[in-house]
Copies of this chain bind each other. A is one copy, B any other.
Amino acid sequence: MRKRRQPVISPRKAPRQARSATLVEDVLEAAVRVLAREGARRFTTVRVADEAGVSVGSLYQYFPNKEALLFRLQADEWNETLGIFEEILADRKQPPLARLRRAVVTFFRSEREEAELRVALDDAGALFRDAAPARAIVERAMGIVGAFMAEALPAQSLARRTEAADFVLTSMSAIAEKVTARRLTRREVDAWASSCADLLCHYVEALALR
């Protein structure tokens, strides 16, 4: 694959004033609507700006390019999901595996709700797979699950726990993505989540016994 210029993805400037913050919000919301209504192929910066009632120039004042806009959408979605995820996994009032189960189910549900956007984003993107900010999110996720593993698998080495965190995170998100793209009902998604949780709990248990 020929070297492709990795698009700049970080925001061009942080909006300082209230007006700008609103503008950025407007653009992001408009972007979601355009993506949903027109699909990834017709997702253009001009259309987004129009939808936001803003000039293209203004859009480019805050997003250096189209990729950055898409990435921001993606990142916001991920971060929100991660927030929920973290909250559940860190709740020491429940036994670890119960938390894991709940977290998995919640994750699937959340993914289901965002499926529309996520699929559109997938179509549009994959443009930032390796971008630094993308890695930052992965790291945040690993941090969250890693902390959980430290608690659930205290006897294991850090390396092994990291491996476990990666496995759980990767499997769960891979399956959730694929399944929620099918637009199933909440009940159906819950069933998948439950099966998936079974497996992952079993995985952690098995590791604990090693």
State the A residues within 8 Å of B (CB): 1-2, 4, 36-42, 116, 119-120, 122-123, 126-127, 129, 167, 170-171, 173-175, 177-179, 181, 192, 195-196, 198-199, 202-203, 206
Q: Is the beta-carbon distance between B178 and A196 smaller than 8 angstroms?
A: no
Copies of this chain held together in the complex: 4
Query: Binding site of A, secondary structure by majority: helix, strand, loop or mixed?
Result: helix
B1 in contact with A39 (CB, 8 Å): yes
Point out the residue from B36, B170, B202 that lies within 8 Å of A202, measured CB to CB.
B202
Name the contact of A198 in the complex, choosing from B4, B119, B206 (C-beta under 8 A): B206
A1 lies within 8 A of B37 (CB): yes
Please name all residues of chain B whose beta carbon is closer than 8 Å to the beta carbon of A202 when the two chains form the complex.
199, 202
A6 to chain B, nearest CB (A): 12
